[in-house]
Chains A and B, each alone.
Chain A
């Protein structure tokens, strides 16, 4: 059990700096997810914590121990790789026992530990097989098993589910959550999939271009994204953004004039906003309403998707950079080419200034 502390971690490959000073405190037993688009440095950060990449500058502490110059084998971490990285010439049992064998554990204890892990992951019937005789999901279980037999202080997961199909991914996600509950060790998990991040994490770290954009619990990020990037990244389908001009601002609401002239009221603390400044209104696809008048926006339906439990409407509206996505009831009968009005509940709206920083929302209905 131990906490992981990062202080101003920087990493460069040659002249190119990938991580620009990451500060982070990961508490003992916490499940932290690094999330971000590809190329944001999340895997590099994880590899730096594992010791597979040296740290250019900054300090890394694992369990209070300064770890910058400690080789991966002595950091007390276990890692699950995206590609599984099993030892192809060893059986499942040998794969899992490898770390214990290196640590010089006696045979009896080793077998016990391996069997216990196999039981947790339900791979007991596979123990004598070679990795090539396993399916993708089974391989991933073995890779996780190899990590848990060693009882590491910190687990590192590098996109472990990205090679699995959708159904298996959901199942493994639940198992990883269960694993975390049972083992209660510190886990750091890297993914580009924000659904995984939302479902697994105690806290999410959103990264972009080697910087931490925001750290917080999944719901905190969902309701109070600090900026446009986080707002757009968390939530699926992604948040709609509509550009406009701030016309009135107070401590509990802001009025924005959109490109088509309509006035939208948003419930945010906009005291720092200057009337006349360019702002961006954000609203999630699931938060639009239909039956209320006022605070509406109209657009032309350009596509309709019937998902069964809901209907997704795509609207072309003035001021919106991309078609607006609206999640409506399954029974909604809009047709392509029709012009409809949708209502923005003020409490559901987000507002960002020209630099992309969010105004604080005063209520989240």
Chain B
């Protein structure tokens, strides 16, 4: 690619790089700040950005080990951080999985089938999703309280209930996948049907492999959403062992005592599963899977 370039091109590239690096520093700053707090001894929100002494006390506590401080006092872990992390991962993975399965099938129906009130339903989905779930917290609490009377594993204080609540946020994903379905030429499925496939086989063997990238995106978004979600989890879950990490870490910050260091270590930990899932999903998020199927 030897395109003839303008003379000012080099300077523009340098400027663009400086701007990009500056921007990255800007968004990385809060993260580095939290990281710095997590490796500083003591529980202070303020202090020098680059710590003078490094202490692993907060990380040890987060991983559930006791820590012998410099002054000889033994610090015991107050909260089951790893259990919270596990709870978060469990709830997030299951709800993301259910969301992917349900939204894919729903989106298929909306993209390909003809039925009554289709457009009203689609718009209805979007409209409902516009109200933040915080507005409905009281209602959500009451609903799950009532559900719990009949199906305990879907009620208050259950991860099943929380997963069900998260699955309610399906509308956005339906729209997302539907948009992707519409980019896949109908002829490909028709060819499969003429080839002897039932509607489900055409969906399973032909359409599904083509739409893997968007499924990965949806899984990732749903996963991140569930890991980070606070309001709904905070009213549905109460006992310490049941909490998700996002709700749990709030326990480090109570008015009498702000344990900033412990909070910071746990907060960084919550980013870990997201990173792992992202690295895994990235492999599948390649574009151009439909290329070549039909005349472009």
Scan A61-81; emit 1 where CB is below 8 A from any B CB, else 0: 000000000011110011101
Q: Which of A51, A98, A133 contacts B205 (CB 8 A)?
A: A98
Measured CB to CB, the residues of B under 8 A from A are 185, 187-188, 190-198, 201, 205-206, 209-210, 288-295
CA gap between A150 and B198 in the complex, in Å: 16
Beyond known contacts A73-B196, A87-B191, A102-B197: 17 more, CB 8 A cutoff: A51-B194, A71-B193, A73-B193, A78-B194, A79-B190, A85-B185, A85-B187, A85-B190, A85-B191, A88-B291, A88-B292, A89-B210, A98-B195, A98-B205, A99-B195, A131-B291, A133-B292
**Which chain A residue has the least Cβ–Cβ distance from B291?**
A132
Cβ of A183 < 8 Å from any Cβ of B? no
User: Is the CB–CB distance between B191 and A81 below 8 Å?
Assistant: yes
**Which chain B residue has the least Cβ–Cβ distance from A163?**
B295
Q: Which of B187, B195, B290, B291 contacts A150 (CB 8 A)?
A: B195
User: Is the CB–CB distance between B185 and A83 below 8 Å?
Assistant: yes
**What residues on A are CB-neighbors of B291 within 8 Å?**
88, 131-132
User: Is the CB–CB distance between B188 and A87 below 8 Å?
Assistant: yes
Cβ of A299 < 8 Å from any Cβ of B? no
Cβ of A362 < 8 Å from any Cβ of B? no
User: Is the CB–CB distance between A86 and B294 below 8 Å?
Assistant: yes
Measured CB to CB, the residues of A under 8 A from B are 50-52, 71-74, 77-79, 81-89, 98-99, 102-103, 130-134, 136, 139, 146, 150, 156, 163
CA gap between A85 and B185 in the complex, in Å: 8
User: Is the CB–CB distance between B195 and A88 below 8 Å?
Assistant: no
User: Is the CB–CB distance between B194 and A88 below 8 Å?
Assistant: no
CA gap between A285 and B164 in the complex, in Å: 75
User: Is the CB–CB distance between B196 and A84 below 8 Å?
Assistant: no
Residue pairs across A and B with Cβ atoms less than 8 A apart, 12 shown, are A51-B194, A71-B198, A72-B190, A74-B196, A84-B293, A87-B191, A87-B293, A98-B205, A131-B292, A139-B292, A146-B191, A150-B195
**What residues on A are CB-neighbors of B187 within 8 Å?**
81, 83, 85
Q: Which of B197, B201, B289, B293 contacts A85 (CB 8 A)?
A: B293
Central interface residue in A50, A83, A130, A163, by most chain B CB within 10 Å: A83
**Which chain B residue has the least Cβ–Cβ distance from A99?**
B195
User: Is the CB–CB distance between A85 and B193 below 8 Å?
Assistant: no
User: Is the CB–CB distance between A83 and B195 below 8 Å?
Assistant: no
User: Is the CB–CB distance between A73 and B293 below 8 Å?
Assistant: no
